[in-house]
Every structure is written in structure tokens, then in C-alpha cells.
């Protein structure tokens, strides 16, 4: 499917999403920068993508918990980028708390953004990909969805659900030239990990065989490979990027 290089990355204004979008831009993809609230950050990422040589760059804000967001985002990619060959479902939220303190709203918010929105976006994108008989969908899961993490029952459930969703959809559309894979980052250097108390960071580091946190760019390189034509026989997989922490 030579020439089809358009990517939509959700939650692309910072952290892992930003790194993924910039890596794809550097590899010549037309890119759509999705953001939830901070347009200024998203516009800055768009400027970086242009500087890296992306042939087309668009910015689109949407609340992914709104059912209307998925069709609007995919339509924006089709219109602004000239098509959609790669969907990276990266956007996610956390509402951490121990189970007995976790409110229904904390559960609902995480499931809505981290799982339900992925279902809607994937369904919408696959409609177009099936017609073209080509597509790459990469879902950003988490080692929390494999190992479980205290205080993250909602997040771990959403990410575990994402892994099961990935496997099922991969099997449904493999014969249409579409692959669906998940990437499960471990502890990556982002705003979220930087905010952890030093003692907690030391405790996490002690568990990681590599002895360090990962970099967003290390996740982005894998996502970019899975997005390419050379990864056509990798399907339904969950690949951990975690320094050896998890038996994926």
C-alpha cells in the first residue's frame, strides 16, 4: 500500500503521544495532533512536526468521552491529511485510589477515556481501512493491565480490556490488510512519573531489571515500526517496553 502515510495520534500534545507523533512526522507521515484541553501545547507540537518534514499537519481538539468525537476526528484526518492509514490510540487518564475509596465517577472517567473511546475510534477508522484493504492500529496499553497496580483498579482494568480488545479486533480484520497491536509501556519519563515522590521513584526503579525509567522516544520507535509496512505479519500482539519488568 505504498504512499498511504497518514496518522492520527490521540493525546499527542505531550508525553508518549507527543514522542510518537514527532517520530511519525520525522518518517514522512502526514499527522493529526489530537488534544483534549491544551490547544497551545498541541500547536507547539504541530510546529515541531512541520519542522521535521511532515507533509501535512492538522490540529484537532476533542473530548474523547463524547460519542461524537470519534467520527469527527476520523473525518478530520480524512479531510486534512487526505486519508488515514494509521491510528494510534494513546490518550488516557488516571484517577488513582484504593478500591474502597474509589468513587463511581473515578471508575467511569477512566473506562470512558482509556477503553470506550478506543472502541469508538477504532470502529470508525476501520470502516475506512476496510475499504482500502490497509490499516495499522496501535493501542497504547500499560504494564498495569498485565501486572495490576495497587490503587489503579480502574486503570488496570481499562488497559487489560484494551489488550483483549486488541486481540479480538486483530483476528476480525487480519484478512483485510489491517493489523491491530498493543504497546504496553512500563515506567516512562513523563510528567506523570516526574511528579512521583522520590522514595516512590526509588522503589519503582528497584523493580526494573534495566535500573532506569524508559524514554518516550523508546516507545515511539516501536510504534513507528508497527505502523509501517514491514510490520505486516505482526498482529494481535502486546509488546512491553519496560526494561524487563513484565513477562509479556
Instruction: Give tens-digit pLDDT for 29-71.
Output: 999 999 999 999 999 999 999 999 999 999 999 999 999 999 9
Comparing CA positions, the residue from 62, 61, 88, 123 lying closest to residue 7 is: 88
Window from 14-23, 64-73, 184-193 with minimum mean pLDDT: 184-193
- Structure confidence at residue 122 (pLDDT): 98
Instruction: Give tens-digit pLDDT for 66-90.
Output: 999 999 999 999 999 999 999 999 9
- Band the pLDDT of 22: cuts 50, 70, 90: very high
Question: What is the pLDDT averaged over residues 198-213?
Answer: 91
Cα angle 137, 169, 11 (rounded to 5 degrees) comes to 35
Is the dihedral angle over the CA atoms 21, 246, 122, 129 positive or is it negative? positive
- Structure confidence at residue 196 (pLDDT): 77
Q: Scanning the structure block, which residue is given the C-alpha cell 490510540?
A: 89
- Band the pLDDT of 3: cuts 50, 70, 90: low
- Catalytic amino acids? 155
Amino acid at each position: 500500500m505504498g504512499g498511504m502515510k497518514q496518522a492520527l495520534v490521540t493525546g499527542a500534545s505531550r508525553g508518549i503521544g507527543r514522542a510518537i507523533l514527532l517520530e511519525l512526522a520525522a518518517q514522512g507521515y502526514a499527522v493529526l495532533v489530537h488534544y483534549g484541553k491544551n490547544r497551545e501545547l498541541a500547536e507547539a507540537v504541530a510546529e515541531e512536526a512541520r519542522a521535521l518534514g511532515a507533509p501535512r499537519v492538522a490540529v484537532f481538539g476533542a473530548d474523547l468521552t463524547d460519542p461524537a468525537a470519534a467520527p469527527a476526528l476520523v473525518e478530520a484526518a480524512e479531510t486534512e491529511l487526505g486519508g488515514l492509514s494509521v491510528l494510534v490510540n494513546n490518550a488516557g487518564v488516571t484517577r488513582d485510589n484504593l478500591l474502597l475509596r474509589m468513587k463511581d465517577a473515578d471508575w467511569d472517567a477512566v473506562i470512558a477515556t482509556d477503553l470506550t473511546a478506543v472502541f469508538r475510534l477504532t470502529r470508525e477508522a476501520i470502516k475506512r481501512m476496510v475499504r482500502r484493504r490497509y490499516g495499522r492500529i496501535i493501542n497504547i496499553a500499560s504494564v498495569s493491565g498485565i501486572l495490576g497496580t495497587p490503587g489503579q483498579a480502574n486503570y488496570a482494568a481499562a488497559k487489560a480490556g484494551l489488550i483483549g480488545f486488541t486481540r479480538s479486533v486483530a483476528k476480525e480484520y487480519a484478512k483485510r490488510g489491517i493489523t491491530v497491536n498493543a504497546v504496553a509501556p512500563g515506567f516512562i519519563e513523563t510528567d506523570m512519573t516526574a511528579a512521583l515522590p522520590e522514595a516512590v521513584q526509588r522503589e519503582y526503579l528497584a523493580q526494573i531489571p534495566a535500573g532506569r525509567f524508559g524514554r518516550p522516544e523508546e516507545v515511539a520507535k516501536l510504534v513507528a515500526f508497527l505502523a509501517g509496512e514491514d510490520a505486516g505479519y505482526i498482529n494481535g500482539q502486546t509488546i512491553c517496553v519496560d526494561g524487563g519488568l513484565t513477562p509479556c
